[in-house]
Structure formats: C-alpha cells, structure tokens
Structure 1
Amino acid sequence: MTRAEEFEELRPLLFSIAYRLLAGVSEAEDAVQETWLRWEASPTEPSSPKAFLSAVVTRISIDVLRSARVRRESYVGQWLPEPLLTDPYQDPERSAELSDSLSLAALLLLERLTPLERAVFVLHEVFGFAFPEVAAAVGRSGAACRQIAVRARRHMDEGRPRFEADRKEREILAGRFFDAFREGDVDGLRELLAADVSLVGDGGGKAPQRAHPVVGAENVARTLAAMAVPFVRIGGSLEPHEVNGQPGAVCRDRDGKVVNTLALDILDGQVLTIRSVLNPDKLGHVGPVADIWALAREAQAAAQEARAASAEESARH
C-alpha cells in the first residue's frame, strides 16, 4: 500500500480527531491536509502510520487551538462549534464515546480544558489510544499524561451532558418538535420543552441574533413560532438532519440555500437546549449559504403584511 493509500484510509480518523480538538470543519480539514504534507515530506517510514499520523494531526491542532482560543475571546455574541452533519469515522467498539464527544454540548464542555488536556482526553478517552501513544503525540511522559487525563476527565464529568439514550424516542420527539415549529404552534412547542429550556444562537455578528439566550418554555415557544411563521411564508423549509450526532435540522431558503442549522438536546421526553448556528462563515461546508439579512427583511415584511391583513379582517367583523 502506498503512503497516499494509507493516508486516505486513515483520513476519517484524522479528521475526527482534529474536529473534536478544534470544533471547526474547515480548520480540521486544513489540519488533516497539513498532516499529509508533513508525512509526504518525511524521509522515514513509521512502524505505525496510524500512531504517527494521529500524533502529527494532534500537534498541528494544538497549535491552531491556542490561537483560536484567543480569537474566540473577542467573538461577537455566543460562540458555537461549526455544525457537523456526518462524522466520517465509524468504530463500532467506541460508538458511544464517539457519539457523546461529537455533540455541541460536549464540544462546548471541551472548551473549558486547556489545549493539552483536550488533546489527552480526546486521544485516550474518546479514541482509545494507549498512554504511550498519547505521550508521544503531546510530548509529555506517560505518567504526566495519566495525571492530565484524570484532571480532564474530572472536569468533563462535572458538566457532562446527558441525552436521551433511546435513539428512536429522540427521533420521534424531534419530529413532533419540528412539525410544531413549521406550523408556528406555540402550544405544541410548549408541551415539548423543558421548563428551563434555552435557545442559543450563534450569528458571530454576521447574522441577526439575540444578545442573550432565550430561556423558559413559554419564551422559547413564542420566539420559535414568531420566527417560523414568516420564514415558511417566504418559502423557507426545514430539512430534518442529525447534527453533531443529535436530532437537528438544516433550514433552507426557497432556493435551497442554507440559512442555519438547529441541534436539539433531548432528555426524558423533553427538549433541554436548542442551538442555532447562523454565522455564514460556519455553514459553507453544509452547502451554498443564503443571504440571511435579505431573508430577515423579507420575513419581517411578510409578518407585517400578515398582521395588517389580520387587523383588517378583524375590523370587518
């Protein structure tokens, strides 16, 4: 097998490691490409291409993560990871760890760790690398990596998100939620939401967004209904899709361009959190991106027309 063939075989794993470290699709793809360039230029043949390439992509990602964390401190509004519709790496033996670590909630929790803690946790806890391999990847001793892993695991366990274990039940509830959302059904939405549900949006200053999360079943239900009705009226559609391993959807305009993604955290038959990524810079990998500002103006005009028509109808009676 040639180097190129070996690399392509390992590409899904390398991307999955980089994405969990960087929480960005384009940054992860760049890290994987840089990994290939370094291996292509290397004169030596590693005994384990998997261990070697995983170590290289981890080191590259740690360097990128350090600068990314500085940029995120000045981010406009709530920062959310770039949504991922499909994880290319599938390992039945670690499917639970892979799925849990992919959710937006888990990626946000990983943000609390230092880049080194994050790398050790992802390599050992998520992908099952032995400590000697982890140590080689991060440039620390095996003993030090064990201590780092304990510390990182403790931080993650303190805030570890819980999700509905039954996949079928999640899908059924998500289907009911999105049906109610399309119809602007406030009552239908309210009964599916947890009392302390939160709606979080990431526009990055490049899309309409609220300054703070919307909290509470009544507030969230009314906000969602107010968003959905004019959006559907101007030809918008909602395409159910798994987002970061959780029930979600891609919202599109009348031309099929991406407006935003929605991801739901579901537990005990209720929606706990709704996360919406609207920042166009984070949606290009999903498909051509819509002009959300133009859509917002059109939706606002449609809502005003509907209110005027309703007032006129009421006046007649």
Structure 2
Amino acid sequence: MSKVGEFEELRSLLFSIAYRILGSVSEAEDAVQETWLRFDATTTLPTSTKAFLSAAVTRISIDVLRSARVRREQYVGPWFPEPLLNDPYEDPARSVELAESVSVAALLLLERLSPLERAVFVLREVFGFGFDEVAAAVERSEAACRQLLVRARRHMEAGRPRFRPAREERDALASRFFDALSEGDVGGLRELLAADVTMAGDGGGKSPQLARTVTGTEPVARLLAAGFPALLSVGVSFAAHELNGGPGAVFRDRDGRVLHTLALDVADGRIRAIRLVINPDKLGHLGPVADVWAIDRETRQLMRTMRQPRQPTC
C-alpha cells in the first residue's frame, strides 16, 4: 500500500486523538496535516505505521496545547471546546470510552490536566494503547507514564457524575427540552432542569454572550423562555443534532448560516448544564457563519417592542 493509502486509513484515528488532546476541530485538523508532512518526509517506512503516526500526532498536539493554554488563560469569558458533530473514528470494542471521552463535560475535565497527563490519558484510557506505545509517543519512561495516568484518572474521576443516563432516556429528555424551548414554556423547562443547573456562553469576546454564568432552575428557565422565542421570531431556526456525542442543536439565521450551537449535559434525570458556543472562530467548520451582532440587535429591538405597553384605543 502507498504512503497516502496507509495515512488515509489512519486519518480518522489521528484526528480523534488530536481533537481529544486539543479540544479544537481546526487545531486537530492542522495537527493531522502536519503529521502527514512528517510521514511523507520519511525516507524509510516505520515498522508500525500506526505507532509512528499516532506518536507524531500526539507530540504535535502536545506542543500546540502548551501554547494554546497560554491563550486560553487570556480568553474572554468561558472557554468551551469547538463543537464536534461526528467523531470520525469508530471502534466497537471501545465505543463507551470513545463516546464518553468526546463529551463537552469530559473535554472540560481534560482541560484540568497537564498536556502530558492529557496525552497519556487519551492514548491509554480512550484508545487502549499499550504503555510501551504511550511511552514512545510522549517520550517518557513507562513508569513515568503510569504515574501520569494515575494523576489523570484521579482528576477525571473527581469531576464525573455518579450516574449517566441511558441514551434513550437522555434523548427523550432533550426532545422535551427543545419542545419547551420553542414554545417559551417556563414550566416545561423548569421540570427538566436540575436545581443547580448552569447556563453559559462561549463568545470569546467576539460576539454577544451571557454576561455571566446563570445558575439555578428558575433563572435559567426564565432566561431561556424569554430569549429563544425571540430568536425564532427574527427568523432563527434550530435543528436538534448530536454534539460531542450528546444531545444538542445547531442554530442558524434565516439564510441558513450558523449562529451558535447549544449542548446539553444530562445526568441523574435532569439537565445539569447548558453550554452555547457563539464565538464565530469556533463555528466555521460547520458552514458559513451568521452575523451574530446583527441578530442580537434585531432580537433586542423585538424584545423591547414586546415589553412596551399598548396604547389604549378609543
């Protein structure tokens, strides 16, 4: 098989490794492209193409993450990973690990780890690489990698919910949520939200976003019931879609351009977090991006008009 053929067979795996380390679709795609350039430049074929490419994309991703962490510390507002519609890599033997590890909640937990801890956890826990392969990829001893994995597991387990719902239960709850959202049904939303539910938006300072994280059933329900029907009234539409392996939706303007995404985190029979990605830099891989500022102005004007008292008629 040609170099191109071998690389293309492993492209989905390489992207999935890079995305979990970086939390960014665009950066993961760049890491995969750089991996190809390094592979193409080799004069002798490695003993294991999979091991060579996996190690290369891991090292590239670690380097990118180290510089990205500095930028993320200066990021305006909450930082969320770029929304992923479909994980291209499939492995029936590790389907549970793959699905859980790509969730927004898991990726945010991974942000707490050092770049090396994150890489070791992804390679070993998610993709099942042997410690010898992990050690070669991160250029550390096997003993050091075992210690890195212990620390990574401790951080990850501390932040995970005790119970995750079955897919059918989760999807049914999400369907009820989007019905109530469309109708502006405060009571219907209230029934689905956890007592400590949080709602936050990632605008990165480049789009309107929530001024702060909103917490609690009543504040979140009322904010949703007031804001989203107004969006629908100015031509915005949404389609439920799996995001990062969980329930979510993609919102578009009247011309079909992407406005933002909304992801739900469901646990213990309730919605515990609602996360919006509004930063246009994080949405370009989903299609043409809407002018979110124009939509915001139009929506605010509509809501002001709706609040104005009607003049009495004679």
For residues 193 and 154 of structure 1, the distance between their equivalents in structure 2, rounded to whole angstroms, comes to: 28
Find runs of 4+ consecutive structure 1 residues off by over 4 angstroms: none
Consecutive unaligned residues of structure 1, counting only runs of 5 or more, are none
Q: Answer yes or no: is the 8 Å Cα contact 1:21–1:118 preserved in 2.
A: yes
8 Å CA contact 1:163–1:265 kept in 2: the answer is: no
Q: Is the 1:101–1:126 Cα contact (8 Å) retained in structure 2?
A: yes
How far apart, in 2, do the equivalents of 1:247 and 1:151 lie?
30
Report if the CA contact (8 A) 2:165-2:268 is conserved.
no
The separation in 1 between residues aligned to 2:74 and 2:283, in whole angstroms, is 20
Aligned to 1:75: 75
State the secondary structure of the residue aligned to 1:271.
strand
The answer for the alignment partner of 1:252 in structure 2 is 252
- Whether the 8 Å CA contact 2:165–2:266 is kept in 1: the answer is no
Q: Residue 252 of structure 1 contacts residue 260 of structure 1 at CA under 8 Å; is this kept in 2? A: yes
Q: Distance in 2 between matches of 1:33 and 1:8?
A: 11
Structure 2 Cα separation of the partners of residues 147 and 214 of structure 1: 38
Aligned-pair Cα RMSD in Å = 1.3
Structure 1 residue aligned with 2:105? 105
- What TM-score does the superposition give when structure 1 sets the normalisation length? 0.97
Alignment deviations for residues 174-201 of structure 1 (CA, whole Å, 9 cap, x no partner): 0110111111111111111011100011
Aligned to 1:297: 297
- What are the within-5 Å matches in structure 2 for residues 41-120 of structure 1? 41-120=41-120
1:185 paired with 2:185, answer: yes
Q: Which residue of 2 aligns with 1:312?
A: 310
Q: Match of 1:285, SS?
A: helix
1:1-317 alignment, distance < 5 Å: 1-161=1-161, 164-308=164-308, 311-312=309-310, 315=312
TM-score, normalising length from structure 2? 0.97
Q: Distance in 2 between matches of 1:186 and 1:255?
A: 29
Following superposition, the deviation at residue 267 of structure 1 comes to: 1.7
In structure 2, the CA distance between the partners of 1:162 and 1:289, relative to structure 1 (3 Å rule), is: farther
Could you tell me which amino acid in structure 2 is paired with residue 94 of structure 1? R
Checking the alignment, whether the CA contact within 8 Å between 1:16 and 1:87 is kept in structure 2 is: yes
State the Cα deviation string for residues 57-77 of structure 1 (Å, max 9, x = none).
000000000000000010001
Deviations 1:231-278, CA, capped at 9 Å, x for gaps: 010111111000100100001111111111011011232111001000
Percentage of pairs with the same residue: 67
* Partner amino acid, structure 2, of 1:253: D
The CA distance in 2 between the partners of 1:164 and 1:179, in whole Å, is 23
Deviation at 1:162, TM superposition (A): 5.2
Equivalent residue letter for 1:306: M
How many residues align? The count is 314
Whether the aligned pair in 2 keeps the contact of 1:106 and 1:161 (CA below 8 Å) is: no
